[in-house]
Structure 1
Amino acid sequence: MLSRVASHLYWMSRYLERAENMSRILDVGQSLALLSADDGADVIEPLVITDTLEAFEASGLPATAEGVARFLAWDPQHPSSIANCLEASRESARAVRGAITSEMWETINDTWLQLQQKRRSGGQPMDTPFFEWVKERSHLFNGVTSATIRRAQPHSFILLGAFIERADNTARILSVKQGAAARRAATAEAGVDRAAAAETDSDYSGYYRLTSVLRSVSAFEAYRDTYQDAVDARRVAELLIFDSRLPRSLRFCFDRIDEILRQLPQQSGRPARRLAATIHARLAYGDVSEAFSLGMHEFLENFLRDNVELGEAVHAAYLEMK
């Protein structure tokens, strides 16, 4: 497959997944901001998760729930806003219409047309119905893709982009939560073991914060089915990192990434395959106790760096024009 075609398919999928992830973060973040007394920290948390705090401050928008939502959902200068992601995904699909099915193109183009209508008639909505619409359109595209496209290289690059982006999102959400917990625990319990303090932090162990993490990755029901007990910080981390059956866990994503890379041409992809296999082995044979021993925040930050490096290796191997 031409590198140009592979690149468009890969980024079409990544941008659509990113739009869905942004809508999840904003929807849960707005709910938490209404419940929390610590308004400032919860209002900017979506910016911290998405690593856009500096860009937001430069935008001049007010540091309110509405200002944050407007920036992450609609800001034309923010390349990863929901609106820009949906537009970029549609442009990538348009560039490779011959490599995708007509149903896939119609779905993603209709999403873009509906977005323009919402922009004109609704004054750029930033509420739960809008975020639910974004998620539904992403799910619709994924379902149409699964039902219509031939299982060949185009399908592999579509899945590869989605799973790399999804793993990044799950790790970022957990990393921000665990990092804040560890800092507060270190302050409150000087001299206590770092991992134990992070686990017992009263803020992160709060029911609403833990369930917000689960709901942001559609894992609340999976948690109840798996543990059938009170929501616990250690088990949340175990589920979202090491569970091989949860579609948004790090383990599930890398089970698929490792499998996909094995199916792609081998001659140029050795560094990417090697790095993916290393990350996959760490998730397949590690456990939550080892992660807490290292420090959960540090474990997740290491994962994020490795995932970014994997994206760069995939780009060098398959997506750059030779």
Structure 2
Amino acid sequence: MLSRTADSLFWMGRYTERAGNLARGMQVALRMSGLGSSLGGPEEGLLNEWHSLLVAAGAEPGYREHHAAVTAEAVIRWLALDARNPSSIAACIEAARGNGRAVRTALTVDMWEALNDTWREMRLLAPTAADADRLPGFLDWVRARAHLFNGAAADTMLRDEGWLFVHLGVMLERADNTARLLDSKHDALAGPGSEGAVAYAQWQALLRSVSALRSFQWLYHTRLRPGLVAEMLVVRPELPRSLVSCHGRVLHALEGIAEATGGRRGDPQRIAAEIQDRLAKGRMEDILARGLHDWLTAQINRNIELGRAIQALYLSG
């Protein structure tokens, strides 16, 4: 497979997953800001929700270039629609469709229709998507479209090299998002703010953002506790969006790509194996004792390193 084809498939998967993940993060911020308002919380606390989402999305530096202060309305528009933000939902959908169009013949009809229909509907929804009364429905729509694309790829794409690059992009992006979401709420999980009604609501919102609230009860049969929430999202392989689960599939995809390219292995396989081994052998007690924020920061940086290694070995040229 040509490196430019692999590159388009990889980034198509990443951008589609990123749009869905950003919608999930915005739903958490909306839920928490709504809870804060109902409890009469301070305005500063409500804005912290949006600021933490900016940081988690890696979108704060660009936002600061164009905005003097953090406001809910400005952050929502920046993350959802602003063309100046290359990681906004609208920009991700545009980029995913552009990458898919470049490799149209490598996609199934269902995959292309999922991408193209999403792009067309996005153009219709954009003028009012950030309005207060339409935003929740818009975010639900984005999540549903990401599910549709992933389902189309899973159900219709040949399990060949093309599938492996799409799946690799999705799983790498998902792992990065889980780590960033966790880090944005580390105080509610392992810091001085990990007790009380607001912290409990943050744990709930965090689990909802990865569709895991019911799964938590199924696995643990107990009330929410911060250590267990963190454990579920980091080291429980049963959860599809946990770090250990995502990185397991990243490693599996990379091994498949190596076999499909005549045994061409390198830094991607080495880094992915090290990450997976660290996660599989990790104990949540040790991670929390070290400091959840520091541990997650190292994990995010390692994920970035893995992405660069994949780009250098398979996607450049």
**TM-score strictly above 0.5:** yes
Contact 2:28 2:205 in 1 (8 A): yes
CA separation of 1:145 and 1:171: change in aligned 2, threshold 3 A: same
Structure 1 equivalent of residue 313 of structure 2: 317
Per the alignment, in what secondary structure is the counterpart of residue 87 of structure 2? coil
Aligned 8 A contact 2:188 2:203 in 1? no
In structure 1, what is the Cα distance between the partners aligned to 2:186 and 2:129?
36
User: Which runs of structure 1 show a deviation greater than 6 angstroms over 4 or more consecutive aligned residues?
Assistant: none
Please point out which of 131, 141, 144 is paired with 1:133: 141
Identify the residue that residue 237 of structure 1 maps to in structure 2: 230
Between the two proteins, the alignment pairs up a number of residues equal to 305
- 1:2-41 alignment runs, 5 A limit: 2-36=2-36, 37=41, 38-41=45-48
- Note closer, same or farther for the CA distance 1:2–1:71 as it changes in structure 2 (3 Å cut): same
Counterpart pick for 1:289 among 272, 275, 285: 285
TM-score, length-scaled by structure 1: 0.90
2:103 to 92, 96, 110: 96
After TM superposition, the score normalised by the length of structure 2 is: 0.91
Given candidates 59, 73, 77, the residue that maps to 1:70 is 77
CA contact (8 A) 1:181 1:203 kept: no
User: Residue in 2 aligned with 1:152?
Assistant: 160
Q: For residue 188 of structure 1, what is the aligned residue in structure 2?
A: none
Tell me the C-alpha RMSD between the 2 structures: 1.8
Task: Report deviation, 1:166.
Answer: 0.4
The CA distance in 2 between the partners of 1:308 and 1:56, in whole Å, is: 21
- Which residue number in structure 2 is paired with residue 113 of structure 1? 120
Could you tell me which residue of structure 2 aligns to residue 173 of structure 1? 181
How far off its partner does 1:263 sit? 1.0
Q: Which runs of 5+ in 2 are unaligned?
A: none
Shift of 1:179: 5.0
1:7-44, CA deviations, whole angstroms, 9 ceiling, x for partnerless residues?
00000000000000110111110110122212231232
**Partner residue of 1:260?**
253
Structure 2 distance, partners of 1:240, 1:33, is: 23
* Corresponding residue of 1:197: none
Q: Identify which of 218, 223, 236 aligns with 2:216.
A: 223
Mapping 1:187-198, distance limit 5 Å: none
Percentage of pairs with the same residue: 37
Q: 1:301 to 1:62 in 2, by over 3 A?
A: closer
Partner of 1:278: 274
1:178 Cα deviation from its structure 2 partner: 1.2
